[in-house]
Structure 1
Amino acid sequence: MKFEAVLFDCDGVLVDSEPITNGVLCQMLNEAGWALSQADCERIFIGKAVRDERARIEAETGTPLTDEWMTAFYARRDQRLRAELKAMDGALEAVRAAHRHTSGRIACASGADKAKVIMQIEMAGMSPYFGEGIFSGHDLPRSKPAPDVYLAAASHLNVAPANCLVIEDTATGVRAGLEAGATVWGYCPAGHGRAFEGLPVARIFHHMDELSQAMATR
């Protein structure tokens, strides 16, 4: 099947940002009074917006999750990202291959705030391929696992979701892509697919070179 469009998640798919972002988040939550391990922070928050866990954060810290706290988090996070962020191995080549495969119909559909997504795509050298096709669940009524951000990206490209391929690395994102009606491939660079157990992903792959090769042969 030749896909008419390819829709990429960002964090953990295009860029290796999740260890950085979650490291800052874990540190700040501990500072706020929640004795949380790095592993638990990743388990709770990867694939979600921080505000999606507002009730739990407030219960664990005993204080409101304020706009001021979120602003401080974004500032510390972005400082670390600017210093340390790298693209996922082979991601730029995969983006180029998908761009060729679809005659330019690719987009990024992320659950993160749009300013962060744009910054990361620029740092990874991918801006020329995505252009205006960058979408954030923060700007829509519902974020992942709801399908809104993928539906918005498909609509922008004027492609039916059923003709789109979604590339995701989390169960939350996979659910969003499936709910949108797209074909979903699960990206799992760690070498296993346990995150996708019970979810009808069409394919699990472990390196972006596999996506590049698939785009070249379909």
Structure 2
Amino acid sequence: MVEFLQDQSKRLTAQIKAFDPKWHYDEIVPTDAFRTPIVTLQGLTAKVNDLRFQRVATVARVQGDYRLLQVETLRFVQRRTDNAYEDGLSLLKAGRLSPRLSEQEALGNYIDRRVREELRERYARFGIDSAGKGPVRVNRREDDSSGTDTTYRRPDARVKDVAFDVTLTRKTLGTAQVRGFFSTDFRPSRVVIIRPRQLGANHTYVIARPETKR
């Protein structure tokens, strides 16, 4: 596995440099008493995940192709949602989350805030603006001007034509929030529902835009 990850790291590095010859990877590697780099499976896995995200961010910036960034956003948000769920449960047990209506609401709000914050930091690290009017946005207002008065929805994230929603509850095309996402002016082709893996099978799934009847 270590050799596999090292090969992946070299391949990803070469691909990024092919898109951006001036790119270089800033890496802090732990060393032993003789200053020999300490190679661990955990460290290599983190590096490969990091390089994978950097590659798709570079493709998005250089070529304007956001499809791979959509995939990596899902991978990143899923990992962060799983981690936030575990930490949130611990905070609930310790009495450090203050529920207003229910513990489920408090846990969900904690997960949402943390995942959004970490995703913003992730994008910013690779030069992607998620706070403006571009195709990558985190918790930003998406207008719906189809009616008499303009309304809006706030997906947890949006990458080009895909909306991402982090939640503890199952949602379907019949859920008002999901229908609202599809009605916004950027007209997403898909809404990705991301739930913690700890909730069991089918925790995360995609809802496609319904076909318009003619």
State the TM-score, normalized to the length of structure 2: 0.29
Q: Say which structure is richer in helix.
A: 1
RCO comparison, higher one (Cα < 8 Å, 6+): 1
Q: Which of the two has higher C-alpha Rg?
A: 2
Q: TM-score, structure 1 length as denominator?
A: 0.28
